[in-house]
Amino acid sequence: MKSVTMRICAALLSLFLLAGCLPVSAAGDARASTVHFLWASPAESTPAETKPISAVQWWYSADDAVYYLFLPAEADTARLQVWFSGASRYAIDGSTVADGAVTGLLTAGNHTVSFDGTAYTLCVMQSANISSMYISTESGSMNYIHAAKGNEETGKLRMVDANGSVIYDNQLNQIKGRGNATWNKPKKPYQIKLSKSTDLIGAGKCKTWVLLANYSERSLIRNKVAYDLANDAGLPNSSESCFVDLYCNNQYMGNYQLCEKVQINDNRVEIRDLEAATEDCNEADVDSYPRFGPNSAVTGSCKGYEIPQNPEDITGGYLLELEYKDRYEGEVSGFVTSRGQPVVIKSPECASREQVAYISGFFQEFEDALYAADGVNPTTGKRYDEYFDLTSLARKYILEEYVKNIDANVTSQFFYKPSDQESTTGFCGPVWDYDNALGNFNGATSTTGIYAAAKKGYTYYFHMLYQQESFLNAVRAEWNSNYAPLIAMSVGNTPATGDTLLRPLSEYYEMLSASAAMNFTYWNILDSVTSSGVDTGRTYEENIAYLKNYMAGRAEYLSSVWQTEDIRALPQTSSEVLAGIPDILQYNGKNTVYAVCSEEGLQKAADLVSAGNSLRGVTLLQTADITLTGSFTPGGANEANAGLSTLNTVFKGTYNGQGYKIYNLQINRPEQNGVGIFAASYQASFLDVHIESGTVTGFNRVAALTGYGDQCTFTRCSNGADIISLGGTDGTAGLAGVARDSAVFVSCFNTGSVTAETAPAGIAGWGQTNITLQNCYNAGTISGTTSAALARTGAALDFSSCYYADGCGAPDICGATGFADAALTDGTLLAALNEGSGVWAAGDSFPLLAPVAQEALVKLTIRYFAEELLIKTSEVYYTPGSAVSLLPENGNFVAGLVFNGQPVADSTVLLQEDGILDILLSVQAQNISSYTGPGSYYISTAAELETLLQLSRERDLTGSIFYIITDINASGIQSSGGTFTGTLNGKFSRITGLRVPLFQSVAKTGDVRKLIFSDSNLTGQGVVAHANAGKISYITTENLVLRGDAPGGIVGENSGLINACATDGYIISSGSAGGIAATNTGSIKNCYNSARIVACQGSAGGIAAASEGTVAHCFNRGMLNSAANTAVAGGALENCSFWDWCAGDPGAAAPLTSAQIADPAFLATLPALYWQAGETHPVLAAACYELGDANGDNRVSIADVVLLLRYLNDLVPAESIDLTAADVTGDGFSMPDVIRIMQYLNGAYDF
C-alpha cells in the first residue's frame, strides 16, 4: 500500500492544449497541491518530453476538497494532450487515457481523474475573451521575488491573445514586485521588463510594463475604468491597459491588469528625457555620483546627486509625484515645499543639484501662487495656471473628486513639466492607482459630498484650487462637456459608441466574468467585506452592480453641484469632508478625533465603552444624519450611583453632533439600570446632539443621551424620543436620567414623552449638587408622581431663562416659566428664548436650535525625527484658536522644535490654521571607544567593557552613562576597574564567566544597575565591587563561586544603597561573609540570598555578616556554615525573614517554614513594586526585568522602539506586542511611552 501511495504522490498528469496554454498553483502557497500536475501545450507542435512555458498545474482547494484546472481563453478543450507519471494506469471519467494521448475528455465542469484506481475530483474552469501571459523565472520559483519587493529575476515570457495568436514569446529581462500597500496583500503586483520593446496591448511599443493584482477590489475594473475615463476625458499620457490571466512557473496566479508604466518614454509620457540627456553629458553613470541633501522629508529641503555636468537646457522634462513623507525617504531625488509637501522627482531619477533647484523652484512658485488669495504669486506676478495648465488641473481634479480617491492630494499624484521649448507650463498626470476609489474605501462610500477639495493631505492643493473662480469655471465646463456624458454612457444611461476606451460596465462584466470566476475561486475572498471594511457584494455580479450604482449616484450628485451659481456654497454633509479624520469603525486608540456617520459607527462608539474604553480625551464627531434601523445597545454599564471616575465602562469623552440628527433610537433594556446611548458618563461633553425620534426603555436611570451623568455638560442638545422607566424610582428624563456634581445644561430642549412611576423630568431626571440649566425648555409630556417639568433636584439648582409647556403635565419645582401650548408656534416662546441667547429658530411645531456653522477643525501634524530619521507622524485636530503647547511631555528628551518651518523655543501657540510641528529627538548614544567626556555611551563587546574598566581606573566618570546592550563573555578580563563614579546600566544583559570583581569600588556618585552575572568564578570581595558607597540595584548572580577574606555576593563593604538584588551559588570566606555584603553601614533593601555561605574563621550572614545600617524587606534561604551564623543580618532589621532550615541567630528576623515562605500572605508583606510570587518563594518582580520589553526578548533595546513605532504606524498588529510591558508610564500605552523607552536607552529616564 505504501508503494502505491508513493507512486500516486509522485504522479504527474500532463495536459498540453492545442492552443498552448496552462493554469498552475502558486509555489509556496499553502493551498497548492504537491501531488499531481497538469501540463498544456499545442498537441501537434510540442514533443512529448518537452514541458512548455504555457503549462498548468492543477490546484487543490482546501475549501471544498476539489482539484481545479484553470484554463486560459485560447485553450481548445477538445484537444488536450495529456501525460502521466508515477503510476501505471490512468483514467479520466472511467476512460483509460494513455500517456501522451490527445483527449477531449477534460471539458469545463467536474471530472474524476484516477491514478491506479485512486480517484480525485477535478473541476475544469476556462477563461474567455482576454489574453494569457506565461512567465517562467530563472529559478523556477516565485519565492525569491516574493521574499522582498526589490528582489528580481530574469526568465522567459509568452503572451497569447484569446484567439491563440502569439503577441510575445521571448526573454524576460526582469520581473520584480511593486506597489506600496498592495505589495503586502496575498496576491502580489509585479513589474516586468521585456528584452525588446513590444506593443502588448495596442498602445505602442515599450519594454517596461506593470501587472496590477487588484486584490483589494472585487470588481477588478476600478483602475481600468479610471484610466479609460481619464484618457477619454482628455488627460493625456494616462495609462492604457488590458486584462490577462497570469501564470508563473506553470502556476495560475489570477486575473491581472497589464498596464503601461508611468514613465517618460515613447508611447508613455512623451516629453524630453532629461536623464538620458544628462547621461550623455557625463562619463560616469549618473547614479555613481555622491548624493546630497537629507533623505527624510525635512520642510524646504532637496536631495539628489552631485552630477558635474548638465545639459544646456534643464527646464524639462520632469516627472513628479506627490508622496507620503515616509515613502519619500525611499526615493533618491526630490524636494519638500515650504508648506511641507514632499515631491519625488521620478524622472530624472538621478537629478543633479541644478535640476533639483530648477524644478523645486518652479513648483514652489506654483504653490505660492495657489496659496495667494487671488491665485497670483506675490513675487513673480504669475497666476497659478501659468505654472500648470488650467484645463489639465480641472480634468485631474474632477477625476479625483468623482472617484473619491483616498490618495487625492497625498500619493500617486503625478505632474510632468516638459522643457520650455515644448511648453512653459506643466501638466497633471498620468493618473494612477484607483483600486480604493469609487466607493471601495470605508469612509468614502457615500455618493454625496465634496471630497478631494476638502482639506486633505499635506498641502490641500485641490482645496486651494477650489477657491479660484477660474478653476471652478473650468471644472464646470469640463464636467458637463466631457466627464458627465462619458459616465452616463458607462453606467448605461445613454447608448455606447465605438470610439471610446471607456466602455459600458456591462461590457467589462461580459469580458471578465469567466476570468473573474477563476480568480475568485483561487482567491476566495468574495464572501467577506473588503480589507477597508466595505461590503461591495458577495458575488462578482453584485460587485459590478455596486460599482454601477456608485458611479451613477456620484455623477448625479456632482451634476447637481456643478450646475449651481457657486459650487463652493453647497453644504458638505458627508463624513468625508473631514478627510484625514478616521471613521470610528477604524478606531485604533491613536487618534483624538473620530467621525461617526452611520448606524454601525454609533453602535461602535457605544461598544467601545462597553469594552472598557472610556474614550477619555477623544472627540466623536457626528458627520451625517443617522437613521437607526435596529435595536441599539447602550454603551457601558453602571449599576452603582457613584465611583464613575474609577470605571472604564463609562463614557468620558466628547460627543459633538454638529447639529446632525439621530432618528429612530430604539433601546429596550427593561431590567437595566443606566440606559441611553451611553449607560453612564463622567466629565463628558455632549454638544449639538439631536435625538429626533424613537423609544428608550430601561429600569432606572433612563434617558436618551446618558442614563447617569456625573460632572457632564450638555450644550445645544435635544430629545424627541419617548423615555420609559419600568423601575421608576431613580432618574428618568429626556437627556440625562441622573445629573450630579455641577452638571450643566445650556440651550437644550425636550419634546419627547417621559414616563416613570416616580420622579420623571423633562431634561434631567435627578439633579444633585449644583446643577445648572440655562436657556432650556420642555414641551414633552411628563407622566408619573413627583414629576418635574425640567429637572428633579436633590440640591441647589441654578435656573435661568428656562421654560416649560403648561400642558406637559408636570409642575415646575425650580423656578422655570410656564407657557401656553400656543406659545410653541406663535413666536412667544421663541422670543423669550432668544432674549438670553439668540440661538433659536422657528420650527413647524416648536422652537428649534438654529443651525450653527461648524468651524472647520485645524490640524496639527506632529513629526518625530531622530537623527534626521522620521520615526513617527501623528495628526491632532483642534478647534481654531486652541492653545497648544509645542513642548510635549518628556521635553528633556527633545533636542529642538520646528513649528511651520521655523525653530521655536518652548512656548504655547494659538493654533489658528493647520500647522506642522517637528520634534527633533536626541536618541543616539556613542560607542565607548569614542569617549570624550560626560554623555551617553554603549558597550557591546568584552573589549569595550575592558575600556570602561580602564577608564574607571584613570578618570572621573561623573556625568557619564554607559549601557551594556548585549550579553558579554567576560572570562578573558583579567583586571578589575578602579573607583566607578558614573552610571552603568546593563539593561539586564548577561555577563558570563567573570573572573575578577567588576570594580574596586563604586563611589558615592556611582550607579550600577540591571546586570545578570552568570557562572562567575572569582576571587575578591564581591561580584560588583569590593566596596560600594553609591547605588547598586537589580543585580542577580547565577551559579556564583566567590572566594575572599571578607566577601559579599554583591560587594564586600556597603555604605551606600543596595536594592533589589539576588544571589545564588557559593560564597567562601577565610574570614566573614554575607549573601549580599559582608559588612553594611548603609542600606540593603528588597534583596534575598540563596547562595550557600561558608565562613571558615568568621561569621556568616544571610544578607550581611555585620550590619550597623538598614536592612529592610529582605530574606535569606541560603545555608550558612560558620562558627557564628546570623540568619539575615545583625543590627536593626525591618520586615526581614529567613527559611527556618538556615542555621543562625535570627536576631530581629522572622523564621518561616517552607510553606510559609510560599504562602501569598508572606508575599503580601513585601513591597509589590519589587516582589512577585515564585514557585517556592517570592522572587524579584518580573516587571523589573520586562518593563519596556515590547518584543518579549527579555531585554529593552532599540528593537522594542522600532516595533512600537511600527505598531503606532499600523504596520504590525497589537497581538505582536506586549503592550503591558510597553506601558512604562503606567497610564496605558501611547507615544510618550516610546519616548520614555528611548530616554531609558540613553539614560535620561529609568523604570
* Residue 63 within a domain: yes
Q: Are residues 819 and 693 in the same domain?
A: yes
Final residue in a domain of this structure, among 79, 110, 126: 126
pLDDT-derived band at 996 (thresholds 50, 70, 90) equals very high
The per-residue pLDDT for 475 is 94
* Residue 400 within a domain: yes
* Residue 1180 within a domain: no
The per-residue pLDDT for 1099 is 92
Cα–Cα distance, 926 to 47 (Å, whole number): 67
The per-residue pLDDT for 568 is 41
pLDDT-derived band at 444 (thresholds 50, 70, 90) equals confident
Q: Are residues 48 and 86 in the same domain?
A: yes
Taking residues 8-32, report their average pLDDT: 31
How open is the CA angle 976-980-981, to the nearest 5 degrees? 170
- β-bridge partners, 1107: 1080
pLDDT-derived band at 11 (thresholds 50, 70, 90) equals very low
CATH number at residue 686: 2.160.20
Taking residues 883-894, report their average pLDDT: 53
Tens digit of pLDDT for each residue in 1067-1093? Answer: 999 999 999 999 999 999 999 999 999
Report the range out of 533-537, 578-582, 772-776, 1233-1237 with the highest average pLDDT: 772-776
**Average pLDDT of the chain to the nearest whole number:** 84
Q: Are residues 766 and 835 in the same domain?
A: yes
The per-residue pLDDT for 895 is 64
Tens digit of pLDDT for each residue in 58-88? Answer: 888 888 889 899 999 998 888 877 767 666 7
The per-residue pLDDT for 769 is 67
Q: Are residues 835 and 868 in the same domain?
A: no
The mean-pLDDT minimum among 613-627, 790-804, 1111-1125 falls in: 790-804
The per-residue pLDDT for 150 is 86
Q: Are residues 332 and 256 in the same domain?
A: no
Tens digit of pLDDT for each residue in 940-965? Answer: 899 999 999 999 999 999 888 888 87
Q: Are residues 739 and 720 in the same domain?
A: yes
Torsion of CA 1007, 1009, 1014, 1017, to 10 degrees: 20
CA separation (Å) from 903 to 26, 298, 779, 883?
Answer: 54, 13, 57, 18
The per-residue pLDDT for 42 is 42
* Residue 1013 within a domain: yes
Q: Per the omega criterion (within 30 degrees of 0), is the bond before 348 cis? A: yes
Are 156 and 165 in contact by the 8 Å Cβ rule? The answer is no
Taking residues 547-564, report their average pLDDT: 88
The per-residue pLDDT for 612 is 83
Nearest CA to 1057 out of 1041, 1081, 1093 is that of 1081
CA separation (Å) from 1076 to 533, 978, 1016, 1162?
Answer: 59, 21, 15, 21
Nearest CA to 639 out of 707, 538, 556 is that of 707
pLDDT-derived band at 881 (thresholds 50, 70, 90) equals low
* Residue 543 within a domain: no
Buried b (16+ CB within 10 A) or exposed e, 453-471: bbbbbbbbbbbbbbebeeb
The per-residue pLDDT for 580 is 52
| pLDDT value at 720 more than 80 | yes
Tens digit of pLDDT for each residue in 355-372? Answer: 999 999 999 999 999 989
| pLDDT value at 616 more than 90 | no
The per-residue pLDDT for 515 is 97
Torsion of CA 179, 184, 189, 190, to 10 degrees: 70
Cα–Cα distance, 327 to 325 (Å, whole number): 5
Are 973 and 995 in contact by the 8 Å Cβ rule? The answer is yes
pTM of the complete model: 0.53
Taking residues 803-822, report their average pLDDT: 83
Q: Are residues 402 and 454 in the same domain?
A: yes
Taking residues 359-387, report their average pLDDT: 94
Taking residues 387-398, report their average pLDDT: 96
Final residue in a domain of this structure, among 449, 479, 509: 479
pLDDT-derived band at 30 (thresholds 50, 70, 90) equals very low
Sign of CA dihedral 207, 213, 217, 219: positive
Cα–Cα distance, 355 to 161 (Å, whole number): 43
pLDDT-derived band at 1246 (thresholds 50, 70, 90) equals low
The per-residue pLDDT for 889 is 41
* Residue 168 within a domain: yes
Q: Are residues 638 and 783 in the same domain?
A: yes
Final residue in a domain of this structure, among 479, 503, 529: 479
The per-residue pLDDT for 1054 is 96
Q: Are residues 752 and 618 in the same domain?
A: yes
Q: Are residues 303 and 330 in the same domain?
A: yes
The per-residue pLDDT for 856 is 61
The per-residue pLDDT for 32 is 32
Helix locations, 266-323, DSSP H: 274-281
The mean-pLDDT minimum among 120-129, 435-444, 465-474 falls in: 435-444
* Residue 570 within a domain: no
Cα–Cα distance, 369 to 338 (Å, whole number): 13
pLDDT-derived band at 859 (thresholds 50, 70, 90) equals confident
The per-residue pLDDT for 1242 is 61
| pLDDT value at 835 more than 90 | no
Q: Which residue has the higher pLDDT, 1076 or 871?
A: 1076
Are 594 and 581 in contact by the 8 Å Cβ rule? The answer is yes
- Residue range of the domain that includes 100: 2-126
Nearest CA to 726 out of 697, 704, 706, 753 is that of 697
Number of compact structural domains in the chain = 7
| pLDDT value at 691 more than 90 | yes
Q: Are residues 624 and 694 in the same domain?
A: yes
Query: Could you tell me the three cell numbers for 196?
Result: 525588446
Taking residues 800-806, report their average pLDDT: 88
Cα–Cα distance, 937 to 709 (Å, whole number): 53
**Length reported for the chain:** 1247
Beta strands in 359-454 (DSSP E): 413-417, 427-428
pLDDT-derived band at 2 (thresholds 50, 70, 90) equals very low
CATH number at residue 1037: 2.160.20.110
* Residue 555 within a domain: no
| Single-letter amino acid, residue 689 | V
Q: What are phi and psi of 226, to 5 degrees?
A: -65, -45
| pLDDT value at 25 more than 70 | no
Q: Are residues 1199 and 1227 in the same domain?
A: yes
